[in-house]
Structure 1
Amino acid sequence: MNGISEKKNLYREGRYQKMVEASADSVDADHNWLITLSDLLSLLLVFFIIFFAMSRVPGKKKESPIAINSSSTLSALVPNPQTKNPMKTIQKEMGATLMGLGLDDQVTIQAGEQELLIIIKENVTFHTGEAAILEGSQPILDTVAGIIKRYPSFQVEIDGHTDDLPINTAQYPSNWELSVARATSVLKYLISGHGLDPARFIITGNAEQRPLFPNMTPEQRAHNRRVEIRLRDHQAT
């Protein structure tokens, strides 16, 4: 009996041992994925450390792209009425406009720091000895009116000039009356035709007293018979 009991005990112990080993193998198999995940996380940490270290290595910095503001670009291309000295810009614009109209040879434009001088020849503006504005000069005066409207700080002086040939008519007893009448005609056209403020204007008549050339030839006299329009920026003074 003792022998049989002893065999049973050995059998039970052997079976129990196998169950323990089988259970241990099962536990090891269940935890194998944890080992793999741990290795993967370790590798990721190593790569992160290497990447961070490389990004901290001193080197040439990339230049930041220059931001371009479309509105500021347009304002540089399109003249601003508040610009301190827009005279050169106006000179170019007006010259291009008159060239397009085929009238650039009838007008001289001179730009200074704070003044624009527009000289209009008599032959496109008036008949000799008269002060009624000719239709051919209207596109020129319309262009000038547009500039005056665009720059409200500009004051305008209109000067009438004649040559030295005397005039003595019932309407114009001398060149003084004729030169003033011509300046007045230009003034009235700008005010009535374009609604400009009369307070911005000054007119003068100079007769033959301020010639551009000596009154020696018909060509020189033709240059002296003219109307000058001066635009002065009082805001810049």
Structure 2
Amino acid sequence: MSKRRKKEQHEEHIDESWLIPYADILTLLLALFIVLFSMSTIDAQKLEKMSQAFNQALSGGTGILDYPSPMPEDEAQAIDDIEGQEDSEDKEKAERIEKLELENIQKKVNAYIAENKLTDKLDTSLTDEGLLLTIRDNVLFASGSADVRPEDVHTADEISELLVMSPPRNIIISGHTDNVPISNPRFESNWELSVMRAISFMKIVLKNDKLDPAWFSAKGFGEFQPVASNATSEGRAKNRRVEVLILPITSE
């Protein structure tokens, strides 16, 4: 009797948990066959609508099918070339316009030089860097001095008026000397003299309220950028100078 009861209890507790995944697999297979069948009979328009519906459902209404296909590489390169050419043309146009502006400024400065009979003391030239105004040292300074002579301050003031431009441009004021060693207690070298001459001249120029000091800078080159031979007195006189370089806007 005891053995029979144990056998009945064992048969009543047969493990059937394997049926659940088996049933799930069958359900998935049935769904797969239905989808495959539908895809084999649905037309292209319905397939497109179905794809869009799936994309919208999966990504909040903005699916991958809503975006255009990537641009071919050769077309993208062609567009880049066109844009690069347009940028280059715009740059060249701006440079031509700025060159004309600098030429107009040069005419204005040359008119001042001719009117005041300063052709032997002031000179202008258009260079690759910009418009260069050269001032002989005997216009502003006594020999070995970095202080603008009182009688020449008005010349610096008038030059400052020539530097009032709209729009403003960066301006570099540089001092230069000959190669004759300096011999006075104030300066140990021509380099120091050239720097202080540039700064002294710039200080007077910037007393003009119409000029912004932020656009100005000063340099000193000593005897190391001669424009003539130091073997003659005439050459040394040309090398002793202050230069005012007006930079084009396109170089800023």
Give me the TM-score of the superposition, normalised by structure 1: 0.60
Map 1:31-180 → 2, pairs under 5 A:
85-112=100-127, 115-135=130-150, 137-180=152-195
The structure with the largest alpha-carbon Rg is 1
Cα offsets for 1:177-202 (capped at 9, x unmatched): 10000000111001124452211111
- Whether the aligned pair in 2 keeps the contact of 1:213 and 1:221 (CA below 8 Å) is yes
What SS does structure 1 have at the residue aligned with 2:183? coil
Q: Kindly state the Cα deviation for residue 99 of structure 1 after the two structures are TM-superposed.
A: 1.2
What SS does structure 2 have at the residue aligned with 1:158? strand
Q: How many residues align?
A: 156
Cα offsets for 1:18-55 (capped at 9, x unmatched): xxxxxxxxxxxxxxxxxxxxxxxxxxxxxxxxxxxxxx
Identity %: 34
Q: Kindly state the Cα deviation for residue 84 of structure 1 after the two structures are TM-superposed.
A: 5.9
Q: Is the alpha carbon distance of 1:223 and 1:208 closer, same or farther for their aligned partners in structure 2, counting shifts above 3 Å? A: same
Q: Is the alpha carbon distance of 1:121 and 1:194 closer, same or farther for their aligned partners in structure 2, counting shifts above 3 Å? A: farther
Q: Kindly state the Cα deviation for residue 150 of structure 1 after the two structures are TM-superposed.
A: 2.2
- Over the aligned positions, Cα root-mean-square deviation in angstroms equals 2.2
- Structure 2 unpaired stretches of 5+: 1-96
Match of 2:241 in 1: 226
Q: Is the alpha carbon distance of 1:92 and 1:225 closer, same or farther for their aligned partners in structure 2, counting shifts above 3 Å? A: same
Give me the TM-score of the superposition, normalised by structure 2: 0.56
- Structure 1 unpaired stretches of 5+: 1-81
Range 82-91 or range 168-177, more displaced: 82-91
Q: Kindly state the Cα deviation for residue 149 of structure 1 after the two structures are TM-superposed.
A: 1.8
- Output the amino acid matched with 2:171: V
Cα offsets for 1:100-152 (capped at 9, x unmatched): 11212211100247611000001111111001112454454334322322233
- Output the amino acid matched with 2:204: Y
